[in-house]
Structure 1
Amino acid sequence: MMFTNKVYKIISGIVLLCCFLGCKRTEAGDDPGGDSIKYEISNAVFPNPERGFIKTMSVYAGGASLNADQLGILRNQNISMILRVYYLDAFKDRAISNAGLSLIQEDMDKIRNAGLKVILRFAYTDDMEGTDAPYAVIEQHLDQLKPVFEHNKDVIAFMQAGFIGAWGEWHSSSNGLATIENEKKVLTKILSVLPPEIMVQVRTPAVKQQIFGNTAPVTAAIAYSSDSRARVGHHNDCFLSGGTDYGTYNNIEAEKKYISDEALFVPTGGETCPPTGGYDPTCAEGRKEMKLLKWTYLNLDWYPATINAWKASGCFDEFQTYLGYRLALTDAKFPQEAAAGSSIPVSINITNKGYAPLYNKKNAFLILKSKATGEYYEKLLAADLRACKPAGTLAVNETVSIAGIPAGDYDLSLRIADQADNLKLRKEYSVRLANANVWTDDNNGMNNLNQQLTIKN
C-alpha cells in the first residue's frame, strides 16, 4: 500500500467404470506403449503450497508469537500461506534482541507444524510520520537474520524487500533511504544473506528496473539462476485501485507488460486498495488483471470492500481456484508390462489452468505401489514443473529405470513433493493436481495415474 492508501486505511487403484474415477481410457491402436489415458479436469477448490489467498499477520517488538490453533485452521479455509510482517520498532538503533530472534524462530516452527509457508517482511514503523532505521542498522539486522533465513528456508516461500519507510514499502524514509542508490544497497544485502533459492519482491516495477539499470524482463535464459535479476519479483499493495494503483506504475501499460513477461519466472502478488477515480474492481477486472500479471497470491485482509464484492458477485471461489498455479493431468501413456530390471517409457502431459506458474522447484516422482504387499517404490523424474506456464502444457517424456523393483503388479501414481528433506514426506507440502478423483493422502500425498504395470521376471 502506498501513502494515500495507508491514510485511507488508517481513517476508514483399478479404474472403476472409468468415468467414476475421473479418467477415460482410449485405445492406442498398435502402439506398443500401451493405452492412452485421458484425465478429467476438476474445478474443485483446495489448497496447494505457495499459492492462493493469504492472511496477513503482523507483530511488533515484544509481541506474541503466532497462535498455533489459528494457523491450524487455515488449510481448512484453503489457505496455505501467510504474510508475516515483523516490526523491529524497538531496534532502530541497536541489534535485534535474543528474544526478538527467538520470536521469529518460534513462528517458523509453528508455521512448519501447521503445514504452511510464509512470505516475510521486516519494517520499523507503520506510521507515515514514524521513523525507520539507518542503513547501518538494517545491515546489522540482516546479518543477524541470515542464520534464521538459512535454518527456515524450507518454509519461506518468498520475502518482500521491506525495511525502508512506513510498512517497509520503500517510501518516505526518515533516514533518506527511499532513493535508488540506498534501495539498491538494501536489496543487494538482502539477496546476499538469503539462501539463493528464495526470491525477493520489490514494491514497484520501476524500482527494479532502476536498481538493475535494465528495463528488459527476466527470460528463460537467466531464470532460476544466481543472477540477481532472476531472484526479484513484484508485490503490488494497491492492486486494482485504478490508474497508477497509487503510484505503483509510472508508465502503466508498459510496466504491466514488463511484469506480465517477468511473472513467467518471478512471483507477483499483494493486496487490493480502495478504488480511485470511479474505477470498479469487478470480477471481470479482477480476472483480467490477475491473468495478465500472473498473480500467485492475494491478501484476504485488505481491501475488505473489494473482497466482499467478489464474494457477493460469485467470483471469489473462481479467484481462489485460479490464483497461482493449477496443474492438471491431460493425458498419459505407460506400458502395461515390463521385464524386471529394465526401463519403461513414461509419457505424461500436464497443463496449467492457473494464473501463474510454480516458482519454487518441486521434485516429481513416479510411484509404484505393489498390489501384493502395499510397498511403495519411487523414481525421481527429471521434469521441472516450473516450466508448465499458465495456459500451457508440459510434456514429460522420460525413460525410467525399474531396476531393483521385484516382479509383480503395481499401481502407478505421481507425487510432487517439496525439495526440503524435512518436508518432502509431508502431504501438506505435496502438490495436488486438479483432476477428478486422482488425489490420495496415501504415501504422503500423491496423484493416482489410474494405470497398472506388471513387472515380469
Structure 2
Amino acid sequence: MKWTNRSIFLGLVLVASCFLCCKRADGDPKPKEERIQYELSNTAFANPERGFIRTMSVKSDGVALTSAQLSLLRSQHVSMILCVIYFDQFKDKDISAGFLSLIESDLNTARNAGLKMILRFAYTDDMAGTDAPLAIIERHLDQLKPVFENHKDIISFVQAGFIGAWGEWHSSSNGLATVANERAVLNKLLSVLPMDIMVQVRTPGAKQQIFNSTVALTASQAYSSENIARVGHHNDCFLSGGTDYGTYTNVEQEKQYISNEALYVPTGGETCPPTGGYDPTCAEGRREMRLLKWTYLNLDWYPATINAWKNSGCFEEFQNNLGYRLGLVDAFFPKEAMAGGNLAVDLNIVNNGYAPLYYKKKTMLVLKNTATGTYYDKPLTVDLRLCKPTVTMPIKETVSLAGLPAGTYELYLRIADQHASLEARSEFAVRLANTNGWLEDHNGINKLNAQIVIK
C-alpha cells in the first residue's frame, strides 16, 4: 500500500492520542488492582469497652473479686464487667478505709485480668429503696475521688447510681428521686470523676430534665468538657416492650433522641422479662440495638431472652456487633521510600458494629524490619471515634521515616489504649475484624499485608 504524507500524519496523531488516553494522570485515584483488599471476618473476639458483659455485686461485708473469676471471662470474649458496689453499711457515715481498699483491690484485679469496669454505687438491692441522705452521698463521692483518679485507665463508664433501689433512681427512702436531687448527684459525680470518663443515667427523660433540653448532642458539643457531653444512657429493662418498664415516656421520640446521642455517648444495660405479649426476637433485638447504638449488654439478666437468642442463632451476631467492630477495607502503600523521607498512608476502615468508639485511642503505623525484627511506631493523628456505625472512613496521612535504617519492612496498624499504664497491653488494644489479621506481637497489632523497601 502506498503511504501518503496525510496518512502518515493521521497515524502519528492516532498513536499519540492512544498513549495519552492510556496514561493515568498524576493525582488520579490508584487503579483498584493496585490497592490491597482485606477480607472481613465473622470471628468472635473481645475488644475493649464493648460487647456482652457480666455483672458482679460487692457488698460492704463481702469478699474481693479473684483473678480466677475474671480471667475466665476473657476466654468467653468478655472484656468488661459491671461492678455494682453497695454501701449498705455506710448509709449514715463515711465509707471505711477497709472497704475503700477492697474497691481498689477489685479494680487492680480487673486490670491484671485484662478487663475494664463499668461502676455503679448503691445502698440497697431491694425495692425498699433505703438509701442515704444527699449529704452522705456527696461525702462518699468526695471519698471516691482518689479511687477514680487512681484507676481511670480501667473505668469504662460510671452509672449515676446512689439513689434508690439498685441505684436505679427510683424508690428512694430519702425522697431523692426528684429532678433537683438527681441533678445534684449527677453534677457531684461528674465533678469528682476524671474529665474523660463518661456517666450513664437511667432514662432519657432524666437527662433531658436535668439539663433542661430535649435536643440531642451535636458533633460540635461531642467530647468536650461540658457536663451534657459526658452523659449517656443505660436501660435496665431493654427489649421488654412498651415503655420498657417506664424507661420511656414518649417512646418513639425518646428512642430517636438516644439514637442521636449515642453517636457520642454510650448506651447499654440489660434486658427484662417481656410485658404485654412482647417478643424480643432476633429481628427486634437487631433493630433496637442498631437504632439505639448499643455498646454493651448484660449476659446475666434476663436469662430467658439471652437463651432465646442462643437458640435462634443470633447470639453470635449480637456478640460481634455490640459496640464498634472496625475492619480494614482496602489500602495503598508505595513499594519503596527513601531513608529519612516520608511514607504516605492511604487506607479505608469500616465500622460494622452498632456503636462507635467512645474513647480516643493511640493509633500508630508500625514498621517491622524483616532482617532485625525491630519495630518502629509512627503515630497517626486519626481519631477513630469518628468512624461511626456503617461508615467507611478514609485514613490518609504522611509519616516521617526519620530514624529507620535502610531495609525491608512489614507494615501493621496498632490501636492502643490512651493511658500509658495500658498502652503496652495487648488485651486493651483494638483488634480489627479481618481474616488472619491479628497478631499478639508488639502488644497487639493488625497486619496490613504490605511491605516497603527503604533505600
Q: Distance in 1 between the 2:230 and 2:332 partners?
A: 36
User: How many angstroms does 1:172 deviate by?
Assistant: 1.4
Superposed, 1:200-279 pairs within 5 Å as 200-279=199-278
CA deviations 1:36-59 (Å, max 9, x no partner) are 111001111111111100000001
Which residue identity is paired with 1:138?
I
Superposed, 1:42-81 pairs within 5 Å as 42-81=41-80
Could you say which residue in structure 2 is the equivalent of 1:179?
178
Paired residues of 2:293 and 2:355 also in contact (CA < 8 A): yes
TM-score (norm 2): 0.93
User: How many angstroms does 1:29 deviate by?
Assistant: 7.0
User: How many angstroms does 1:420 deviate by?
Assistant: 0.7
Could you say which residue in structure 2 is the equivalent of 1:291?
290
Q: Distance in 2 between the 1:445 and 1:152 partners?
A: 22
Is 1:415 aligned with 2:414? yes
CA deviations 1:109-168 (Å, max 9, x no partner) are 100000000000000001111410001000000000000000000000000000000000
User: How many angstroms does 1:31 deviate by?
Assistant: 7.0
Is 1:109 aligned with 2:81? no
Could you say which residue in structure 1 is the equivalent of 2:83?
84
Q: Distance in 2 between the 1:444 and 1:31 partners?
A: 38
User: How many angstroms does 1:219 deviate by?
Assistant: 1.2
Q: Distance in 2 between the 1:31 and 1:291 partners?
A: 41
Which residue identity is paired with 1:87?
Y
Runs of 4+ in 1 over 2 A off after TM superposition: 28-35
Q: Which moved more, 1:62-71 or 1:232-241?
A: 62-71
Q: Distance in 2 between the 1:72 and 1:351 partners?
A: 30
Matched residue count: 429
Could you say which residue in structure 1 is the equivalent of 2:375?
376
Could you say which residue in structure 1 is the equivalent of 2:15?
none
Q: Distance in 2 between the 1:344 and 1:316 partners?
A: 42
Partner SS for 1:77: coil
User: How many angstroms does 1:366 deviate by?
Assistant: 0.2
Could you say which residue in structure 1 is the equivalent of 2:150?
151
Which residue identity is paired with 1:36?
R
CA deviations 1:359-402 (Å, max 9, x no partner) are 01111000000001000000110000000000001111101111
Could you say which residue in structure 1 is the equivalent of 2:449?
450
Structure 2 residue runs of 5 or longer lacking an equivalent are 1-22
Q: Distance in 1 between the 2:296 and 2:261 partners?
A: 16
TM-score (norm 1): 0.93
User: How many angstroms does 1:322 deviate by?
Assistant: 0.5
The structure-2 alpha-carbon separation of the partners of 1:29 and 1:58, relative to structure 1 and needing over 3 Å to count, comes to farther
Could you say which residue in structure 2 is the equivalent of 1:20?
none
Structure 1 residue runs of 5 or longer lacking an equivalent are 1-27
Which residue identity is paired with 1:420?
H
User: How many angstroms does 1:176 deviate by?
Assistant: 1.0
User: How many angstroms does 1:30 deviate by?
Assistant: 7.8
Q: Distance in 2 between the 1:311 and 1:437 partners?
A: 26
Could you say which residue in structure 1 is the equivalent of 2:8?
none
Could you say which residue in structure 2 is the equivalent of 1:328?
327
Could you say which residue in structure 2 is the equivalent of 1:118?
117
Superposed, 1:328-347 pairs within 5 Å as 328-347=327-346
Percent identity between the aligned chains?
68
Q: Distance in 1 between the 2:271 and 2:86 partners?
A: 22
Q: Distance in 2 between the 1:386 and 1:394 partners?
A: 11
Could you say which residue in structure 1 is the equivalent of 2:9?
none
Superposed, 1:374-453 pairs within 5 Å as 374-453=373-452
Partner SS for 2:175: coil
Larger radius of gyration: 2
Which residue identity is paired with 2:435?
A
Q: Distance in 2 between the 1:413 and 1:29 partners?
A: 29
Q: Distance in 2 between the 1:423 and 1:360 partners?
A: 14
